Structure 1
Amino acid sequence: MAREIQNRQRRHTTDAYTKQIEQQHSAERYVIGCLLLESSAICRVVEILRDDCFADQRLKLVYQAVKDIWRDGQQPDIISVTNRLLQAGDLENAGGAYQISQYASNVGSTTNLEEHAMFIRQCYTSRKLMEAGVTIRSLSMDTSADVGDQVAKAIRIVEDVMNDMDYSNPIRTMAESTDRALAEYEKRERINQEGKPWGLRSGIRILDRYLHGFKPGQLIVVGARPGMGKTSLLLHFAKSIAQANERVAIFSLEMNDVSLANRLLLSCTDIDRNAFKDGCLTPQDRNKLIDASGYLRSLPIHIDETPSLSIQQIKVRSMNLKRKSGLSAIMIDYLQLMNMKSENRNYNREQEIANTTKQLKQLAKELDVPVILLSQMNRNIEQKLQGGKKTTSIPMLSDLRESGAIEQDADVVLLIHRPEYYQDTDAIKGIGLINIAKQRDGCTGKVEFAYSEDMTKIGDSPKNGGDPL
């Protein structure tokens, strides 16, 4: 009985597919007829249809001829198309002069041209999806390959099909764009009236006044030399976002999850760091540690400590997390430790980084979350001097390590500087600077933040209303 049901379903699927092929061939003949009937009709479908969209190879040749004539600045019609095919030696392969004339004769109006073109493109996408399925099946049968790599390749194959579907007209009128801008403002207004912030808060008030929070789709790069507190600042951002019940994923390519948890525990208490490391806390401090542990357990922070992750692996794990439990922000520590091996073996290191930051920006847009990316800075920053004083200059965009593409792809670039670390004569103990070196939709500037001696606690500077750490 079950087999009979399966056979009926298979026959039904086959019949439906056969019917779709027939409809596609009919749509292709209609579109070609329209293009031969009305010389300006090609402008209406050239952004929708590519040559490969035509399943009938004869019609594909005719479509190519129409496009070539149009791109040469001429008016495509039956005579010019027939001559072009004749000169190329493709007239007989396209069905002959009589058949070409029949395409236009069988069309009375071009009114539904776009609808038929869209249907042909959808059928083409279905064929590409079937081909992708065959390729993915072949991948899965390769027992010698790593399963994670197979999944990543399968996702790329499906993504290629999905990206190929973006053929609708992206041009909007000013009226449409204004309506969208007004709708977005009204959304911000509604969120504000509910007492909620627009954008995810960093936990440093002066920084939030500049950035208005981390927004979905943004790539935020945090750059610094080693020892400046990149990871500490990242954890402070994560804790602040999670405190608003927003889920955060941290991909730590350098430190393990226990090390990060230790830092977060110390950030929530005033216990002695050395006593904590040596395992000799007082009973009172031990109780504080347990209380802090209970608090941190409730925060929606996820840590992945896998070393040398690729962008595809980060993407897969982020997508799975968002699907299962939601996701509000992705944090990566740090760029230079990522596996950037590209399918293009001719890429040098700078091109690999450029390709990676481009994909991270795409990831932010696709998942509609901010991606906060830590990055190393060039060593020569430590050699800069100002006025002969024992100091270093504040880092700039040009100090980002290995690639100018980092600053190009980033929506926001934050560069950390601690004058105290370099024994700057003007340094204030426990006060660092964040240089907002780039903000795509806002102003730049320098803001202060406070930090504890062991860099476990980050907060507002006293000048900006912060309490001593």
Structure 2
Amino acid sequence: MTAPARPRHDRRPPHDETAEQAVLSAMMLDRAAIAVAREQLIPECFYREAHRRVYQAILALEERGAAPDPVSLADELRRREELHAVGGVDYVAQLLDAVPTAANIAHHAAIVRQHAQRRLVIAQAQAAIEALYQGLDPATVAKALSADVLPMAVDDAAGLGYQRIDPFAVLDEIEARMRGDALAYPSGIAPVDAQTHGFRPGELIILGGVPKAGKSLVAHNLAAHAASLGHPVGIVSAEMSAAQVTERLLSALSGVPLHVSASGRLQAWQIEKLTTAAARLAKLPLYIDDAASPSLDDVLARAVALKAQHSRLGVIVVDFLQLVRFPLKGRRGDEELTSIAYALKGLAKRTKTAVVAPAQLNYKDIEKRPDKRPQLQDLAGSSGMLQAADFVALLYREAMYWKDRPDILELDFRACRRTAPFAVSVWWNGGTMSLTAQGTAGEAAPAQHALGF
């Protein structure tokens, strides 16, 4: 067995002095380059301490409205008592001549940023190694390392931080919608998509319902439909195991009722349908995390990790919201739920995904009312959820209370950030855990499952 390579301690940390000089030179040549550099870099991104000090001095001059020419910059450094430390007037003049133009500022800043990230990862990895040698729990060390390092991949791609508004980028998005090729994630339920035109990256969708109303079904079908269009999807299933979720999807896709597959008494044609469905389902970029009662930190960290692995991740389902643990000492339960809702909204924006979160309603109050249709106040922590969410849909099945009524699922979108409130109804197919569009005069339309295959 080959012995593991011993770490080398003679290596200099990754950096590119020429790129650092090019960034500072561009900032001195063109004040527009200062805004570009500021969006990508903080002082700690520079490896050389002298370059950090020059960078901060340039930013200070810019804030005062002064141009960072060599004379002004040297004077600022002298005022800070740092001119000698950076190499004196001669080095400041040398920086000005590092590049002939500021045209490549974005490229050079990206090089500096990438080297800074490499140094950060190395430092975090070395700290993790030391912690493991000291006997710390491996899972704790791994979790801390993930929390420190993995968000970098997402934040770098997302361009987080202050950004200049770009109305033309928004106009391009509007024109893309006109052409029908804007990035959005249809639910697969035609009447819902007619209103929303698909859920967009950065949106939080909350599905409220009593137990057995169909929250998970709608969420899982939406996820599977997005995956069928080629968008990677993550499902946090705190209530059901990965096998249970998969069996539901197989039933919906194949049309073989769940109770039949559960009994083990299947006919050859049913096995064939399930096999065909399994082959199609296996091709979908669906990823399930079925840890019971996950903490909010775990949900966020694993979602960020999945985004880092699959940059095109489109939808994240958190099923369901009340099973996510986020204890706040001295706070009420509804305050904890509000914090979770805001955190999920932040996750949607950070990862540029649509986050779908089924949520339990206060069914005890509903049971006491003659009209069992849920209201927004039945949503525990409703004020915070309403503020955080882009869409809040309340689910209702009349047949749950009156057995002689047709089994129709109503999705009442009561709170909508970018559309007027609306409601749609679809047939509930309990046997196969699927949804079918309603036809006219109470008749079911031709089979058109919400999965959209």
Name the TM-score, length of structure 1 as normaliser. 0.67
Which letter maps to 1:300?
A: L
1:293 aligns with 2:274: yes
Counterparts of 1:50 and 1:354, CA distance in 2: 31
Q: Any conservation in 2 of the 1:253–1:333 contact (CA below 8 Å)?
A: yes
Question: Residue 57 in 1 paired to residue 57 in 2?
Answer: no
Aligned partners of 1:304 and 1:64: how far apart in 2? 44
Alpha carbon RMSD of aligned pairs, Å? Answer: 5.0
Aligned counterpart for 1:337 among listed residues 304, 317, 323: 323
Task: Map 1:210-359; keep pairs closer than 5 Å.
Answer: 210-214=195-199, 218-237=203-222, 249-260=234-245, 263=248, 273=259, 279=263, 286=267, 289-300=270-281, 302=286, 303-309=288-294, 310-311=298-299, 312-316=301-305, 322=310, 329-340=315-326, 349-350=336-337, 352-354=339-341, 356-359=343-346
Confirm whether residue 433 of structure 1 aligns to residue 410 of structure 2: yes
Alignment partner for residue 356 of structure 2, among 364, 372, 389? Answer: 372
Which residue of 22, 25, 48 corresponds with 1:30?
25
The amino acid across from 2:322 in the alignment is Q
How many Å separate the matches in 2 of 1:259 and 1:25? Answer: 54
Say if 2:317 and 2:355, in contact at 8 Å, map to a contact too.
yes
- Secondary structure of the 1:353 match is helix
Secondary structure class of the residue paired with 1:300? helix
2:352 is equivalent to residue 360 of structure 1 = no
Q: What is the Cα deviation at residue 229 of structure 1?
A: 1.9
The CA deviation at 1:100 is 3.2
Q: Distance in 1 between matches of 2:318 and 2:304?
A: 12
Q: Supply the AA of the counterpart residue of 2:438.
A: S
CA offset digits 1:436-468 (Å, max 9, x no partner): 234444443011122256794432234475259
What CA distance in whole angstroms lies between the structure 2 residues aligned with 1:445 and 1:335?
23
Who is 2:423 aligned against? 446
Quote the offset at 1:353 in angstroms: 0.7
Distance 1:75 1:272 in 2: 72
C-alpha spacing 1:318/1:287, structure 2 compared with 1 (3 Å): farther
How much does 1:148 deviate? 8.6
What percentage of residue pairs aligned between the two structures are identical?
20
Structure 2 letter corresponding to 1:449: V
In structure 1, the partner of 2:155 is 163
Residue deviations 1:139-188 (CA, integer Å, cap 9, x gap): 25626434596167336414337635838995466556544543554463
Distance 1:313 1:17 in 2: 28
Q: Distance in 2 between matches of 1:47 and 1:235?
A: 38
Range with greater deviation from structure 2 (102-111 or 43-52): 102-111
Q: Could you tell me which residue of structure 1 aligns to residue 392 of structure 2? A: 413
Classify 1:317/1:182 alpha carbon distance in 2 versus 1 (closer, same or farther; 3 Å): closer
CA displacement at 1:126 relative to structure 2: 0.1
C-alpha distance in 2, partners of 1:257/1:28?
A: 49
Higher relative contact order (CA 8 A, sep 6+): 2
Question: What is the DSSP-based 3-state SS (H/G/I as helix, E as strand, rest coil) of the residue aligned with 1:293?
Answer: helix
Distance 1:327 1:93, change over 3 A: closer
For 1:17 and 1:201, locate their aligned partners in 2 and report how far apart those are by CA, in whole Å.
44
Q: Deviations over 1:84-131 (max 9, x none)?
A: 555555455455xxx337734874799623535752552243033123
Which amino acid is 1:232 matched to? L
Report how many aligned residue pairs link the two structures.
Answer: 421
Q: Structure 1 residue 51: deviation in Å?
A: 2.9
Gaps of 5+ in 1: 1-5, 190-197
TM-score (normalizing by structure 2): 0.69
Find the aligned partners of 1:121 and 1:223 in 2 and give their Cα distance: 44
Structure 2: gaps of 5 or more residues: 448-453
Which amino acid in the other structure matches residue 417 of structure 1? Y
Query: Does the 8 Å CA contact 1:381/1:395 hold for their aligned counterparts?
Result: no
Q: What is the deviation of 1:435?
A: 1.1
Answer with 347-356 or 125-134: which moved more: 347-356
Distance 1:186 1:300, change over 3 A: same
1:270: Cα distance to partner?
7.5
State the distance in 2 between where 1:239 and 1:161 align: 26
Task: Tell me if structure 2 keeps the 8 A contact 1:129–1:161.
Answer: no
Q: Does 1:182 align with 2:175?
A: yes
**Match for 1:150: what amino acid?**
A
Measured in 1, the distance between the counterparts of 2:102 and 2:358 equals 50
Q: Which amino acid aligns with 2:214?
A: G
Instruction: Identify if the C-alpha distance between structure 1 residues 359 and 149 changes in structure 2 by more than 3 Å, giving closer, same or farther.
Output: farther
Question: 3-state SS of the aligned residue for 2:393?
Answer: strand
Show the counterpart of 2:436: 459
Alignment match, 1:207: 192
* SS of alignment partner, residue 299 of structure 1: helix
